[in-house]
Amino acid sequence: MNPHPLKTRDKLLFTPGPLTTSASVKQAMLHDAGSWHFEFNERVRWTREQLLAIADLSQADGWETVLLQGSGTNGVEAVFATCVPPHGKVCVLTNGAYGQRMVRMLQLLKIPHVVLNAKENELPDLSKLEQTLSADPDITHVAAVHCETTTGILNPIAEIGRLCRQHACLFVVDAMSSFGAIPIDFESAGVDFLISSANKCFEGVPGFCFVLARRETLLANEAHARSLSLNLADQLRGFERNGQFRFTPPTHALLAFEQALKEFLAEGGVTARYRRYQANHAALVAGMKQLGYKPYLPPEIQSCIITAFHCPADQRFHFAEFYQRLSQKGFIIYPGKLTDAETFRVGSIGHLFEADMLALLKAVAAVQTEMHFDGDLHPAPNEMPARFQTVPLFL
């Protein structure tokens, strides 16, 4: 066994979570924490408070953060299981796998719902949403994904939220892969429930998710909760009662998250993280285009979180081999998840910087040479921003 595990460099994860974390975040987990102990409870309290402050919200204004064990999916399902009343009905906007996952949850929870489906490369049709909400007064909630990580498309939550308000519907936002990096104005977007997780833009490790919502809204349907472990109202009551998680907390993930939050704040919060991810994304897209790869989405609806690229049409390209060769060089990318196109994805989030993106591009160029395939864009456009042009990207 390696006696100095933190001295070796892990492969870089260009994935949307779990993602590459700093050495100090990993280091923070090398401690044991008693889940009932007051020191740990204080860390939980601080974490809940900080997440609200980052969203420009506060307990004084009636808002709460509920931390919940498990992955992000648990958080989304917990909102539906706890906060939709028995007579409720949810309108789900989908343009990718995570919107579809919400639909599946509602089916299993037997909650009435309607689905407004858009193509994976298109924004939701807001006039259709308006018509649907006008025609169906039974709809109590609208649910949407902010950054649909299937493609990286950024959905217009402020516009959707405005329609929710006009029709007195509560707005559920899955901001799993955007919260912490893409600014979200709760007030103007009319967000009632926001769900995110530890291992995305805050650059923590997997183990828990969290929901930001008004206390009153969280508790409104407490008597009708459809789940024990996913009961957000009960989870909130637990924190209020004794500062603790109701059931065994992910102690090490929380220690890591506390460190990740300190690093997030030291970096300059949402503004700085957004800037870094935008720079990562710009370097990635410019370099990939130079190598002949075509992004799946047009730039105006593409977020800086993750980018889907078309697999090259060249018969000599095989994703499995491409992936394997990049992995051997220390770079982990992500397969595609689209129903209508062959793609692969590259994330720009995590403890990654422009230099890491340039190193990945260099590895992609090398693999392309090894596999003897060409990209689709010929001639490759010279869209490389001036400041990257002097960097010797390609082998």
Ligand X SMILES: Cc1ncc(COP(=O)(O)O)c(C=O)c1O
Contact residues: ligand X, CB under 6 A: 16-17, 71-73, 98, 145, 149, 174, 176-177, 197
- Nearer CB in complex with ligand X: 12/358: 12
Two tokens, residue 205: 């490790």
- Nearer CB in complex with ligand X: 79/145: 145
Q: How far apart are CA 171 and CA 282, in angstroms?
A: 31
Give the nearest distance from C-beta 17 to ligand X in angstroms. 6
- Nearer CB in complex with ligand X: 177/259: 177
Two tokens, residue 11: 């492969």
- Nearer CB in complex with ligand X: 41/197: 197
Give the nearest distance from C-beta 260 to ligand X in angstroms. 16
- Nearer CB in complex with ligand X: 123/367: 123
- Nearer CB in complex with ligand X: 41/149: 149
Backbone angles phi, psi at 10, to 5 degrees: -75, 160
- Nearer CB in complex with ligand X: 16/180: 16
Give the nearest distance from C-beta 179 to ligand X in angstroms. 10
- Nearer CB in complex with ligand X: 154/364: 154
Preceding omega of 18 cis (within 30 degrees of 0): yes
Give the nearest distance from C-beta 131 to ligand X in angstroms. 26
Two tokens, residue 394: 């390609």
Give the nearest distance from C-beta 353 to ligand X in angstroms. 22
Sign of the Cα torsion 384, 386, 391, 395 reads: positive
Q: Which among 27, 39, 137, 25 is positioned nearest to 89, based on CA atoms?
A: 137
Give the nearest distance from C-beta 9 to ligand X in angstroms. 24
Give the nearest distance from C-beta 198 to ligand X in angstroms. 9
Give the nearest distance from C-beta 35 to ligand X in angstroms. 22
- Nearer CB in complex with ligand X: 41/348: 348
Q: Are 220 and 84 in contact (CB under 8 A)?
A: no
Give the nearest distance from C-beta 209 to ligand X in angstroms. 7
Q: How far apart are CA 362 and CA 351, in angstroms?
A: 19
Q: How far apart are CA 262 and CA 259, in angstroms?
A: 5
